[in-house]
Amino acid sequence: MSWKLICLVSLILVLSVTVNVSAELISHWRLDDGSGVTARDSGDSGNNGTLNGDAKWVAGWIGVALELEGEGDFVDCGTSGTFNITDVVTLAAWVKPDLDFAYPGWSGIIMRGGPNIDTFAFYYNGPNQQLGFKTTGTTPPWTATPAPGLFDGEWHHTCAVYDGAVKTVYLDGEPIHTVESTGSIETSNGRVLLGAGRDTNPPTLYLAGRIDDARVYNEALTQEQIDVIMKGSGALELAYGPDPGDGELLEATWAKLSWNAGDFAVTHDVYLGDNYDDVKDGLGDSFQVSQAETSLIVGFPGFPVPGGLIPGTTYYWRVDEVNDADPNSPWKGNVWSFSIPAKTAYSPDPADGAEFVDLETPLTWTAGYGAKLHTVYLGDDYDEVNSATQGTPAGIASYDPGTL
């Protein structure tokens, strides 16, 4: 039975203090060379590729790309030991499949291995409209997922990530498939190929269409990082991977802020405050420190916010990456946030102002920061509840008033 009822509840909390205490780019083939038979590696490893067959330089997603005809065209990127990746890996490329080609099955985007062993490989399947990802040595080694959005005649960004525990396949920056997988990736002496999927002589499982901006990382990129490389940046310029995570609720009056450095950073300018616009624009007293370290203690004497983080406050922070030798410096970071819960109770259920509440409804709430005991005041007169000094003690964040 339901009835229109207005209940006024006030909670006084007994508090106790508690204290909680760059992506490794192996190779990046921009495929912007535009002429000749060399696909230069702009990564640190120098694994330049050699064009084979009738691969042609054409307009790409970013500048120039390669067009492959699906019959003998591929890029041979060599057998460098830098490709012996065992723990985590990310493979990424822009592709535009040729919808008029009679695909026999799987086509290699990026692969490394021998005739029957793909130590790591990323494929698409035209007939079945799928993406597939293989890491030999892991359990399971292979996973495939429907990806019909890839086959519409347009450019799409494809990415496959193995982080040691999970494989994730991305299409245009969005995860479309995840599967648990563990183990080490096997190594081999096979070649890394772009546009083919079996390292026989000659290779097989050719790609028909266009490929651009292909990359191999010895790191499991996050979705945030994948969004950055989709935009064509040759490197991850901004700080990333904030801890506490963006929007996290932190039950402490101090924090250790940490992040991953951008690829070119020498020092880091850290901004922190409770005003979003000030932190975003570097105004007021939001600038805290310039330092080489990628972590910062806040909320203790001798550190930023020396009086402690204030319960009930949302803090915003930003890290700008700085390299005085680079004319593009500084690289302004994204604004992240974390919140310290209030000392007062919050998130009541029934919600404040709720009507037509069941007569047998228990009252629950989220305890304020550090709360161990609660005192509940209940009545139908706002002034009496608001000024009451004696109530019902509760050891948990719930109270059963009986039938209302």
d(CA 190, CA 251) in angstroms, rounded, equals 51
| Per-residue pLDDT at 140 | 96
Domains of the chain: 25-230 (2.60.120.200), 240-249+261-331 (no CATH)
pLDDT value of residue 171 = 98
Quick check: 48 and 40 in contact, CB under 8 A?
yes
- Residue 333 Cα to chain centre, angstroms: 15
Residue type at 101 in one-letter notation: F
User: ∠355-356-358 over CA atoms, to 5°?
Assistant: 120
Q: What is the pLDDT of residues 372-398, one digit of tens each?
A: 677 887 777 777 677 767 767 766 767
| Model pLDDT for residues 65-81, shown as the tens digit of each residue | 999 999 999 999 999 99
Listing DSSP states for 91-134 in one string gives: EEEEEEE-TTS---SEEEEEEEE-SS-EEEEEEEETTTTEEEEE
Structure tokens at 68: 């492959």
Residue closest to 76 by CA, chosen among 110, 101, 44 = 110
Q: Could you tell me which residues are beta bridge partners of residue 178?
A: 168
CA separation for the pair 259, 224 (Å, rounded): 13
Which residues does the chain have with pLDDT short of 70?
1-23, 114-116, 232-235, 346, 365, 368-370, 372, 384, 388, 391, 394-395, 397
User: CA-to-CA distance for 40 and 187, rounded, in angstroms?
Assistant: 24
Residue 3 confidence (pLDDT): 35
- Contact indicator for 363, 383 with CB cutoff of 8 Å: no
pLDDT at 8: 36
What is the pLDDT at residue 15?
Answer: 30
Task: Tell me the C-alpha to C-alpha distance, in Å, between residue 291 and each of 93, 162, 220, 260, 307.
Answer: 35, 32, 26, 14, 22
**Assign residue 36 a region: left if phi > 0, alpha if psi is -120 to 50, beta otherwise?**
left
Radius of gyration for the chain, computed over Cα atoms and rounded to the nearest angstrom = 28
